[in-house]
Chains A and B, each alone.
Chain A
């Protein structure tokens, strides 16, 4: 436990430097997992990695489709991104395309095929001979990178150790671009991300549920769907997580105002129920969330323990913190505790504004998860 009590991560130019000069050096090759699509950030990590000397293996996960009137423009943009990818890789490495696309019935499934495909890919991903595996989640939906990372962290940890391979997560954060991309055709219902499915799958389980929604803007529909996923007629505690500190000091207040009805009327919360987490430090959320879940487990031991459910409706960085906590807690094999990650994905995406007018101010983050950095 406390896998990441001591931790480090890099942002901005330090992340770039670490990636090109430290991670991707040496004789062994480096693998990169990225998502295919119109999002310009899909190439950010690769753009840095190609500056290094290491041989590259790129796994391109095919995702959903674009929706709306701009469909043609966005498809053209995705095609252009793919062209650039091939160009960047020319003579520098290999490319493997992995089909993790949403299928028709994914909109209406509590077990979307895309997540299952991601699990399968993670289980079979060869890591032997790699110095590092970098997962760039910038252009990937949670439905894909949650299962992918959890299989790698939780179920293939020994493989990383045996192969002396390091695992890194790369995030290219761009708030203004995120605000322009909106999910369309949301899944009808939330679902528990694999391999966290057993948390809520057992019937007549009366252990109380503690739900940790990581709040972000404009997600009322998704939050409502996660709430519906939680079993009825079971005692429930809700602990919303707010971004504090944040680049916008009033962000937490604005979120409370946005979700006022939900927080006060539906959940009858008071100020003691909130958890605050640094929006730009995933390890802060990891620590806060792990502690809170374990305290609930202890406090509710007389009732047989509890089941914790985490859902992320905010940034990629915070979602990574939540995943790390969930992953660590998922290692607990006891009758008095289970943890699950709930999610609602969009099966298509839309970009507002002009398709060619990309905001360019992305900030890079490189977060080591397993391997060299954590060795004594």
Chain B
């Protein structure tokens, strides 16, 4: 199977039919999220949609493990190295039987609503889970040992304990067990469809017996054990009914299982208080679930860029195009039509600064630009930085006349901070392209593979169109900027479809933008490159996550809104950050970088809007909000 014409379009890695293609596109670096020892306790993996949890599980499937252990390519060797370190491959062959159980497309939640006479519906769920685990496990054993699908079933036997109270032990052979599992699934689902679930209630299981039965010692092929470990990987657990999900999780945490158990789910399955309690800066398993976006954030920027660049490279290898991101013009100065305009703007800016220096001797010594200039654009940014520096000094000293002599030029740190803000302002105020270049795209992807793919797909289409039309293969900054803004607009407009209370979130973001844009474009810079998040003290954050009908009830609507936004990757939360006063910690909610694009904000993690949580809550309450200071009017 091949990827579509545009290799970034639609096809998700985890649903690729070909295991070879899946492995080719898999990023070994992602395995780091599993930690060093994922086997000894129940591991919970959480992410927003497109966070990459399914790919992480699929690589442990027998089909993939076998290919990796036998593979000779550099890429497969790299994956094998990581899997060896994890203990999933040993002696050149898979040492783990991975039982991947996706719950995503099966309507298990309906079971909780069945009206059964005396049986607990949960027992039917356990029977269905057991059936699925058994069928997947036997299939996995066949793959690992290269057995023919039906004929070789008799070579699989079980070393069941003599006296275990486990109904699965009644099936002495693999053929019996498979026959039971197939029959149970078909019979139970048909009965549910026909409204006759009570007739099959006696097929139910009091607990998931397969987690006890399928130990590494119990499964034999030709009388020999086939692996050192068995891991059951339940994916999309959020699809279960809430009560069943909770009970299953309690069971696997409190019971002695003979398998390792991983459970992956989307973050929005969590309650608002759980989501708001997620410390996304913590990715250690002992401290809670593995939150994949947080794990990526912990990696430095270069690591993330490498990751995305590698995804792009591997997908492009499957297409007619060998390289794409190399064709993205990385600097506006290479966009020839813009050069003359930039030069004119810079000349005007220089004249303006000369004028200031001439009138105010305090600034006469300030260096206006670095030497030598790299380009006209860099020169313009330097001039803007100098202007902002002067404005900043002026605003601090105009009343006190603190400086009587010359003001020194900014230090290199000050200059670097100023330049990031200056570049943003120069582009915004002069209608120059702002969002372009491979690194910008990686950053806007906001630690979400789906988001990266949609951005890359847009760029690919543009590149391909230019190539076909013969208008050059270089995608210029203005074209990139336009494209990224279009994708950002579609993301913002689509919020009501993507998340609960999406329209309310849109209004909240517009209210936020009013402050953030004004602050980011102010002549004096406080934060470089600008304001791209909002936050509160940790004390207020505690109030938010613990609000209830009886305590801080007025915060509940905001808690609901923000937890939904965190779950859907619309904002990401950085808790317990040190800031401001000594000992004070804060929680900052940074916007998904695509929203920064839509709101015309910089994409770097810069300043944030600090308010009391009660203020934010007020913003979500009224449709036409007008605060005491008159801000945010007409937005609600």
Contact = CB atoms under 8 A, between A and B. Distances in A.
A110 B109 contact: yes
B104 interface: yes
B192 A105 contact: no
- Interface residues of A: mostly helix, strand, loop or mixed? mixed
Given A185-B496, A191-B107, A231-B105, A203 B49 contact: no
Contacts of B135: 203-204
Given A185-B500, A195-B194, A201-B106, A108 B239 contact: yes
Interface stretch (B2-10, B201-209, B216-224, B323-331): B2-10
B503 A228 contact: no
Contacts of B194: 155, 195
B239 A110 contact: yes
A224 B186 contact: no
A107 B501 CA distance: 12
Contacts of A232: 14-17
Range of interface residues on A (Cβ < 8 Å)? 35 or more
Range of interface residues on B (Cβ < 8 Å)? 35 or more
A204 B195 contact: no
A51 B521 CA distance: 66
Contact of B496 (A188, A196, A350): A350
Instruction: Name the residue among B105, B136, B189, B242 with the largest chain A CB count within 10 angstroms.
Output: B105
Interface in A48-79: 67-69
Given A123-B195, A185-B500, A186-B497, A110 B105 contact: yes
B287 to A, nearest CB: 26
- Interface residues of B: mostly helix, strand, loop or mixed? helix
A233 B104 CA distance: 15
A38 B548 CA distance: 32
Contacts of B502: 67, 184-185
A69 B502 CA distance: 11
Contacts of A194: 107, 110, 192-193
A13 interface: no
A198 B500 contact: no
B108 interface: yes
Interface in B511-548: none
A109 B107 CA distance: 8
B6 A107 contact: no
Interface in A104-120: 105, 107-113, 116, 119
A110 B242 CA distance: 13
B193 A198 contact: yes
Given A195-B195, A200-B106, A266-B11, A67 B496 contact: yes
Given A155-B195, A184-B503, A198 B190 contact: yes
A172 B131 CA distance: 46
Given A105-B241, A108-B238, A202-B185, A197 B136 contact: no
B182 interface: yes
A66 to B, nearest CB: 11
B285 interface: no
Contacts of A186: 497
B269 A108 contact: yes
Instruction: Name the residue among B139, B238, B503 with the largest chain A CB count within 10 angstroms.
Output: B503
B268 interface: yes
Interface in B94-111: 104-111
B497 A184 contact: yes
B371 interface: no
B9 A110 contact: no
A261 B5 CA distance: 9
B503 to A, nearest CB: 5
B497 to A, nearest CB: 5
B113 interface: yes
A270 to B, nearest CB: 15
A67 B503 CA distance: 8
Contacts of A107: 500
10 contacts: A105-B241, A110-B239, A116-B110, A185-B497, A200-B105, A201-B185, A203-B131, A229-B105, A231-B105, A262-B10
Interface of A: 67-69, 105, 107-113, 116, 119, 123, 151, 155, 183-186, 188-189, 191-192, 194-198, 200-204, 221, 224, 228-233, 261-262, 264-266, 346-347, 350
Interface of B: 4-6, 9-12, 14-17, 49, 104-111, 113, 131-132, 135-136, 139, 182, 185-186, 189-190, 192-195, 238-239, 241-242, 266, 268-269, 494, 496-497, 499-500, 502-503, 623
